Amino acid sequence: MIENDIFKALADPTRRAIFEKLAGGGMNASALREGMEISQPAMSQHLQVLRSANLVREERQGRFVHYEVNPDGLALIAQWLAKYRAYWPQRIEALKVLLRDMDQ
């Protein structure tokens, strides 16, 4: 189940940090490591998990591999969230902000 891959991928704080960093702009794996105190294999493994969850996509560029956010994964979370829209009216004010942001 793809939904499972996504939530499992995001359950790790290091992976969320990596994802967040990539959301600020795509870069290669070495650049991602800067200031993150994480070994090269660990980074590679995390990126693999994020990739198979469709949260990140890669593109070979010579001997570098460029990574960037894959919106597909985010869209699936949004879909999951939408299933529970019945519970939103109670917090409609907080949500209005989200809606405006998204609808820009």
Partner DNA sequence: GAATCGCATAAGTGTATGCTTATCTGTTAT
Partner DNA sequence: ATAACAGATAAGCATACACTTATGCGATTC
Instruction: State which of positions 5-44 bind DNA (CB under 7 A).
Output: 8, 11-12, 14, 28-31, 38-44
Instruction: State which of positions 52-91 bind DNA (CB under 7 A).
Output: 58, 60, 62-65
Per partner kind, with CB cut-offs from 5 to 8 A, the member of a copy of itself, DNA, none near residue 48 is DNA
Burial per residue of 75-91, b for 16 or more beta-carbon CB atoms within 10 angstroms, e otherwise: ebeeeeeeeeeeeeeee
Name the token pair of 2: 């793809």
Q: Quick one: DSSP state of residue 63? A: T
Chain residues in the site for DNA (CB under 7 A) = 8, 11-12, 14, 28-31, 38-49, 58, 60, 62-65
